[in-house]
A = this chain, B = another copy of it.
Amino acid sequence: MMSDSRVSSVIQEWVSSYQGQSHSSPSGNPQMDLLSYAQGLRPDDRGVTEQMMGLSYMPYSTSCLSNTSNTAASAHHESHSPQQDYSPFLHPSLRAPLAKRSISKDSPEYRLRRERNNIAVRKSRDKARRRIMMTQQRALQLQDENQRLQLRIGQLTQELDTLKHLLSQRHMQGAEEGTGDTSI
């Protein structure tokens, strides 16, 4: 049976043709104070694609997949070596790994790889967390500045009105030569 991850891959592939590419973490400098980060905001980094709001949140393996949990206490991502999906209906890249490796999970090589990936994963997630927080902060900052600007506009507008009024009075006073134009 195909794992859920593979299913999502389908959607991903299917959809990826739609979203060009993005990701260009210009970060370089991890420090990247909020200000500078504010310049090159990434509208998105990825996956704006997947959602489709399927509000059911039904388990992926339930209700449509057998999920015949192998032995005893090992649910999770098991049953990978035995039984694969050779269905001819699926996209080639989705079908079974075809007796790929015998890394056997015991191989020190396997552990090494896992460990490295785990590290990478932590790093990546850390990065993501930081990115998210920075975006939030940026939004807050922008909101503040926005308010500030709106206020400033209010001031200027009022001042402008005052001057216009004043000027019109002068015009009245000065009578005849009035061009009546105060706009720029």
Contacts and interface: CB of A to CB of B under 8 A. Distances in A.
Looking at A31, A45, A158, the one whose CB has the most chain B CB atoms below 10 A away is A45
A88 interface: no
Contact of A105 (B30, B73, B135, B170): B73
A105 B44 CA distance: 30
Contacts of A160: 156, 159-160, 163
Interface residues of A, number: 80
A44 B130 CA distance: 8
Contact of A74 (B74, B166, B183): B74
One complex includes copies of this chain to the number of 2
B184 A106 contact: no
A182 interface: yes
Interface string A149-184: 110110111111011101100100110000000111
Contact of A70 (B57, B59, B72): B72
A57 B126 CA distance: 9
Contact of A146 (B72, B75, B149): B149
A119 B72 contact: no
Contacts of A173: 174
A69 interface: yes
Interface in A54-109: 57-59, 62, 67, 69-81, 104-106
10 contacts: A34-B48, A44-B126, A44-B136, A59-B118, A69-B105, A70-B71, A76-B76, A132-B132, A139-B142, A142-B143
Interface of A: 30-31, 34, 38, 41-45, 47-48, 50-51, 53, 57-59, 62, 67, 69-81, 104-106, 111, 114-115, 118-120, 122-123, 126, 129-130, 132-140, 142-143, 145-146, 149-150, 152-153, 155-160, 162-164, 166-167, 170, 173-174, 182-184
